[in-house]
Amino acid sequence: MGLLNPHLDDDDCADVWSARLALGAEESDRPAESHLRKCGECRARYADFTTWIDGLRTDAHAEADETFTRDKLAAQQAQIFRRLESLEQPARIIAFPRFARPVSVPVSGGRRWIAAAAVVGLITGVGLGQLMEFPGRTRQPESLAQNGPKPAVVETARAAQPASSDDDDETFLNEPEVTTSQARVPDSLQYLNAITPGARDYDPR
Amino acid sequence: MSGAQPAGLPPREADSAAASAVKAMQADGRHAEARERYAELVARHQRRAARIAFHYLRDGAESDEAVQDAFVKAYSHLSTFREELPFEVWFTRILINGCLDRIKARTRRERWMVSMPDSGPGERDFAERTAGHGPSPEDLVLARERRQKLAAALAKLPDRQRSVFMLSHYEGCTSREVSAITGLNESTVRVHLFRAIRKLRGMLTEGNHGAS
């Protein structure tokens, strides 16, 4: 729109339209308004412009309404009220990590019994082992200390000598008795030892 | 504006009455009643809120979240609502700020992620709609193309121009209301509206002229 061309162009239409919209009125204070009232051609052009721009709104609303259907809006409303309700509930305090329960792996009953039996068996075995006295284990060092040569050495010497004579056999058979008779008897038991018959005194004939 | 309103009261007054009642109920600890009354406001503004969020975000799921957040935030901050301002204006400001925050967050995310090509709702429901009555497939394709062009053109507008255009034209707000929502003065709103229209006209008719 100008002095030479009084008709409205797109910018003039946009100016009039935006002014009317901003005011929310049928007419604005724009200079083009007076020409628009007089010129039918410009009114038609302006009508085209408004049709175009109203089409933008229709398209935009249609697209949004396709996305937000009635069902979606109902679901959205329900979700909003769920959130509002949760706002009013007091917050839960979760103990972390000191008072949290330890995570345990479930153990089957059979495995538990096997483990318990193994523990009981182990404890009993160790206890009894401590209490019980094994003669071979406890007396051996004493006899070794008293008899001098080690059994291994005696055995080796015997193995080296051929056991051929009867005297050797007799000696061998009487050896335990000899050993016993040679054992040191405490003084307090000398009397009992004297009156008790020994194996050497026994004569089957 | 859609939704139920108490008989005999214009929408603005009905909104203010409902908002004040909810505020008083919250203060008295009558939360169930407050929520029930707030449902009126939600029903009245929900569709409009969904449209605004969708125009900003162009994504159904994100718009849904933005609308929910805005209603929850408005309810929990209702004590700060001043009656002299329409509820609609106050709520729209909350909603738009939320949408702008989401756009910023999305921009930050997109710096690190490559987005997949998105299929619009037209494509998703294509077979459904072409099977029976309704617009022809050609009409649907043309409408979809038009919407895509419009969305692309709107996205090219500066934030303020876009906000002013959408609030004025799509939502029918007056320059005073847009001024209250955006914080711009009324004459600036009119300037932004005019510039937005001129740019949109240029961008949208340019392609058509080129094609013909």
Decide if A153 is inside a domain.
yes
Determine, yes or no, domain membership for A29: yes
User: How many domains in chain A?
Assistant: 2
pLDDT of residue A136: 53
| C-beta separation of B83 from B19 below 8 A | yes
What distance in Å separates the CA atoms of residue A7 and residue B178, rounded to the nearest whole number? 31
The mean per-residue pLDDT over the stretch A111-124 comes to: 92
- Kindly tell me if the per-residue pLDDT of B12 is higher than 80: no
Q: Residue B54 and residue A64: Cβ atoms within 8 Å?
A: yes
Of A61, A77, A93, the residue at which a domain comes to its end is A77
Q: Is the pLDDT of residue B211 over 60?
A: no
Long-range contacts of A160-163 (CB under 8 A, 24+ apart): none
Dump pLDDT digits (tens) for A141-157: 554 445 555 555 445 55
Contact A10 B168 (CB under 8 A): no
Average of per-residue pLDDT across B155-182: 88
- A18/B46 CB distance under 8 A: no
Q: Cα(A124)–Cα(B211) distance, rounded to whole angstroms?
A: 99
> What contacts A49, CB < 8 A, 6 or more positions away?
A10, A13, A14, A17, B201
User: Which tokens belong to B117?
Assistant: 């090509």
Q: Considering A40, A59, A77, which residue would you say is the last residue of a domain?
A: A77
Among the partner residues A18, A68, A80, nearest to B68 by beta-carbon distance:
A80
Indicate whether A118 belongs to any domain: no
User: Cα(A38)–Cα(A27) distance, rounded to whole angstroms?
Assistant: 14
Name the token pair of A1: 């729109």
Chain A residues whose CB is inside 8 A of the B46 CB are: 73, 76-77
Nearest residue, CB atoms, B194 vs list A18, A56, A76: A18
Domains detected in chain B: 1-118 (1.10.1740.10)
Query: Closest Cα of chain B to A3: distance in Å?
Result: 22
Residue A191 lies in a domain: no
Nearest CA in chain A to B65: A76
Average of per-residue pLDDT across B96-109: 90
Q: Is there a contact between A68 and B54 if contact means CB atoms under 8 Å apart?
A: yes
Could you report how far apart the first and last alpha carbons of chain A are, in Å? Answer: 163
Looking at the predicted structure, is the pLDDT value of residue A174 above 80? no
Residue A1 lies in a domain: no
- Above 70 in pLDDT, residue A21? yes
Q: Check A56 against B186: CB less than 8 A apart.
A: no
Residue B8 exposure: Cα atoms within 13 Å on the Cβ side: 1
Question: Does A51 reside within a domain?
Answer: yes
ipTM exceeding cut-off 0.90 for this assembly: no
DSSP summary character for residue B2: -
Q: Is the dihedral of CA B152, B157, B159, B164 positive or negative?
A: negative
Q: Considering A77, A96, A122, which residue would you say is the last residue of a domain?
A: A77
b/e A24-60 (16+ beta carbons within 10 angstroms → b): eeeebebebeebbeebeebeebbeebeeebeebeebb
Contact assignment for B147 to A73 by CB distance below 8 Å: no
* Structural domain boundaries enclosing A157: 134-182
The answer to whether residues B196 and B157 touch, using CB atoms and an 8 Å cutoff, is: yes
B194 in A contact zone (CB under 8 Å): yes
Per-residue confidence (pLDDT) for residue A23, from 0 to 100: 77
